[in-house]
Structure 1
Amino acid sequence: MGAGREVSARWTAILLAGQRPGVDPLAAAFGQEWKALVPIAGEAMLSRVARTLLACPSIGRVLILAQTPDALLTGDCAWLADEPRVGLASSGGGIATSIAVVAGGPAAPWPVLATTADHPLLTVEMVEAMIAGSAGADVAVGVVGRRVLLGRYPDNRRTWLRFADDGWTGANLFALRTPDAIRALDAWSTVEQDRKKAIKLVWHFGAWLAIRAVTRTITLAGAMRRAGRRLGFDARPVALPFAEAGIDVDKPADHALAESILDAREAG
């Protein structure tokens, strides 16, 4: 395994700001071509997430990855063009393959933290907790437990992966610490289309593991450890204690909730 072979003291943050082909419903609802430019609490989501990443002590550089990244540097996001710690790269047909092209290269040396522009509730504390929790792994995935999220926002709807210890939803935070993470990206590229379908996703990693997951006789950490070992890397979840880490903005209801949370933060 490659754990511990980081080549940089500070992390590169890959900020995913692209979108799938066709009209994005959230962008259209706000009169935008690009989802990343949808405003929330008075600022474009892309700008807000980039500011958070640049404020993190562990992050040395931010690389914005999108189909046409130059088109995003307008309005609230114009400042990014003059920020020396921000770079741009064009994405390809899939998230995992696009990250794999740049991860470990000059623009994004190891270790790498990937997150998304539709995560405007991201905080410095979340990022630093994610990085700290990933220590010793090749790959770590940020997650939020069902009890944590619904205990604070009981009406919020998420996609849950249910295991023996809890139901889990993604936090759109991925720590790629070593070159062995490329194997994880290769694996992810084959299952990406099923990431919102829990049963199909687990079946990609073998029938035995799928049965254990379906019967909830294995924890998420146990499942990730076994799947990673099978594919040649060390993988683990990082259970984040922040309910808001599990809320991204995909639809108007998410936007309304996130905006109310941001307004409350600023008022507080």
Structure 2
Amino acid sequence: MYFEPGQTPPDTITAVILAGSRPGGDPMAKAAGVALKALVRVGGETMLSRVARTLSSHPRIGRLLVLAQDTDLLKQHEDSGWMAADPRIAFVTSGSGISSSIAAVLAGGNYPVLVTTADNALLTSAMIDSFITGTSGADVAVAMVERRVLLASYPQSRRTWLKFRGGWWSGANLFWFANNKVKPLLALWQSVEQDRKKGMKIVGAFGPLLLIGAVLRLLTIYQAVAMAGRRFGLSARIVAMPQAEACIDVDKPGDLELAEAILRERLPV
């Protein structure tokens, strides 16, 4: 499936991998002795290469963009040679923040766009299928895993939970942008992205009624996200992922150990 740069074939999706670094460096990168977190090895392969392989091999992905501040460092890594040689994959220098970088990608009009992160090292084709199926008809969607789903398989895993009526939820690092309606939402994201680990502060940015409903657990997460979307005149949706591994990103040493163990179990006997 080849095409000219900047053009996405009909019925395919543009995928974006966020592979940037935090100001001051990332503890995981420092512990692994590498320059960027995306270059930390999981299962013998850098996280970036692993996620890129999964996305580029999926039949619905027509174009793959890797966003980072230092794209040369990523391109020149020994695990990235296959990526640099693939005409469907481009390395794009990111802006000062996640939301502004995504907004720049969306300005090209290559909708729909699926966004994930380089530390989403356990991403599988089945997860991509589940997410894409769940986004049908939505302008914007976010993948989440409910606490009971995760703990049933990995009770030792520690996540940041958003607590709503009917369940606690953790993000799965998959985002869906279907059309131009999402641009005002990205502007709001830019104002709160530094607080992305502070769930209720983000909820509060959508207005006091939504915050009260969430704090008092009067709303399910589905109701809350739909309400937030209506504020911007768009259809917003949570996609509940059936795969527990979908919310296990490699963000700390314990995550790395767990991810390595899960990948060993996936290997054919």
TM tier relative to shorter chain: over 0.9
CA contact (8 A) 1:7 1:110 kept: no
Paired residue type of 1:210: L
CA contact (8 A) 2:18 2:115 kept: yes
Partner of 1:101: 104
CA contact (8 A) 1:104 1:110 kept: no
Question: Secondary structure of 2:171's match?
Answer: strand
Question: Secondary structure of 1:202's match?
Answer: helix
Partner of 1:3: none
The answer on 1:77 being equivalent to 2:99 is no
CA distance in 2, matches of 1:86, 1:177: 20
Paired residue type of 1:258: A
Partner of 1:155: 156
- TM-score normalised by structure 1 residue count: 0.94
CA distance in 1, matches of 2:258, 2:191: 32
CA contact (8 A) 1:58 1:128 kept: no
Stretch of structure 1 that moved more, 71-80 or 11-20: 71-80
Stretch of structure 1 that moved more, 236-245 or 176-185: 176-185
CA distance in 2, matches of 1:160, 1:266: 30
Q: How many residues align?
A: 261
CA distance in 2, matches of 1:189, 1:233: 18
CA contact (8 A) 1:114 1:174 kept: yes
CA contact (8 A) 2:9 2:62 kept: no
| 1:53-202 alignment, distance < 5 Å | 53-73=55-75, 74-105=77-108, 109-202=110-203
CA contact (8 A) 1:41 1:259 kept: yes
The answer on 1:239 being equivalent to 2:235 is no
What's the offset of the Cα at 1:267? 4.0
CA contact (8 A) 1:142 1:239 kept: yes
Could you give the per-residue CA deviations for residues 164-204 of structure 1, whole angstroms, max 9, x where no partner exists?
12101100000111111222211211121221112212111
CA contact (8 A) 1:39 1:45 kept: yes
| 1:11-22 alignment, distance < 5 Å | 11-22=13-24
CA distance in 1, matches of 2:263, 2:138: 32
Gaps of 5+ in 1: 1-5
CA distance in 2, matches of 1:267, 1:88: 32
CA contact (8 A) 2:140 2:175 kept: yes
% identity of equivalent residues: 52
User: Hey, which bits of structure 1, 4+ residues long, moved more than 2 A?
Assistant: none
CA distance in 2, matches of 1:117, 1:7: 24
Partner of 2:210: 209
Cα-Cα RMSD: 1.4
Paired residue type of 1:32: V
Stretch of structure 1 that moved more, 167-176 or 15-24: 15-24
CA contact (8 A) 1:64 1:87 kept: yes
